[in-house]
Structure 1
Amino acid sequence: MSTDFTETEHAVLCWLATSDAQNRPNVSPKEIYAQTGETQLVIADIASARSVRNIRANPAVCVSLIDVFLQRGRKLEGHAEIIAPDDPEFSQLAAPLLAMTGDAFRIRHVISVRIERSSRILAPSYLVRPDRSEADLRADACRLYGVRPPSD
């Protein structure tokens, strides 16, 4: 299983998809996350009451990480576990998240995702116009979004 995150190094959000006990889907952005092992991703629960509730009812999740400028990323499928502050693992799992946030956000729980499948996400332009370079894709995205290119 490839969990190479280098193609998503400029992703600023990940999208966590969950479903409740009645299989009603929910997707929400998460801005504080870190890969902590070959098959583990941790996500900060800052304001994720519905995601937490859904994971407790149905731990199957899907996480998308996309570099919007290169229009590619990773889809991670697996099972999540909610780690509360009183859990012995909380401090260790929250450490990389706290390193990102400092005291800007209170982390209510850590959502620990055990990655079971990983696959690439590619915009249709990769298939329709395979001759496009990364520089072309980045320039097009910057024009589309009205932003300056990110510095590498």
Structure 2
Amino acid sequence: MSAGSSAPEKAVLCWLATVDADNRPNVSPKEIYAQTGADRLVIADIASARSVRNIRANPAVCVSLIDVFLQRGRKLEGQAEIIAPDHPGFTELAAPLVAMTGGKFPIRHVISLHIARTTPILAPSYRHTPDRSVADLQADAYQTYGVQPIQK
């Protein structure tokens, strides 16, 4: 996960699920996000007009963070708030996001999720092959994606 996380997994993208005023769902990837406390995740609105519009109509959201190589992650549920640049807390909430972008992308708003519930996400292989180690499952994922881990 991005800056500020204590999670063992390393999610590169998170997936933000919202619902519009007509109850039509929308899921979109977000790559600039940070957990800034036990109960808050902030996401940069760089090109998220639909997500922002949906949250203004219905603030209930769900975010999935998955490490594709470990095939596990977390689902975060709660209420989101759109923080505009003129909001008194914008600079503080945007700081970890600005640090991640290096100023390369304008952050139009901060989507601030107040996390009400966190649930683990596990690939079915964790449940259906409990005798296999995490290392074996991870090796399978590397093979599936045709990549090798970086040796440090």
Deviations 1:4-49 (A, max 9, x none): 84133x1100000000011100000000000111100000001000
Matched, 1:61 2:61: yes
Distance 2:95 2:123 in 1: 33
Contact 1:41 1:114 in 2 (8 A): yes
Name the aligned partner's letter for residue 36 of structure 2. Answer: T
Aligned pairs, how many? 148
Structure 2: gaps of 5 or more residues:
none
Q: Distance in 2 between matches of 1:95 and 1:78?
A: 22
Unaligned runs of 5+ in 1: none
Q: Measure the CA separation in 2 of the matches of 1:64 and 1:115.
A: 12
Identity %: 74
Contact 1:16/1:62 (<8 A) preserved? yes
Quote the residue 1:71 is aligned against: 71
Following superposition, the deviation at residue 150 of structure 1 comes to: 4.5
Q: TM-score, normalised by structure 1?
A: 0.94
Q: What RMSD in Å do the two structures reach over aligned CA positions?
A: 1.3
* C-alpha contact (below 8 Å) 1:5/1:74 kept by paired residues: no
Distance 2:115 2:37 in 1: 10
Query: When the two structures are superposed, what TM-score results if normalisation uses the length of structure 2?
Result: 0.94
Moved over 4 A (4+): none
In structure 2, C-alpha distance between the alignment counterparts of 1:64 and 1:5, rounded to whole Å? 16
With 141-150 and 76-85 compared, the bigger mean Cα shift is at 141-150
Query: Match of 1:113, as an amino acid?
Result: L
SS class of match (2:77): strand
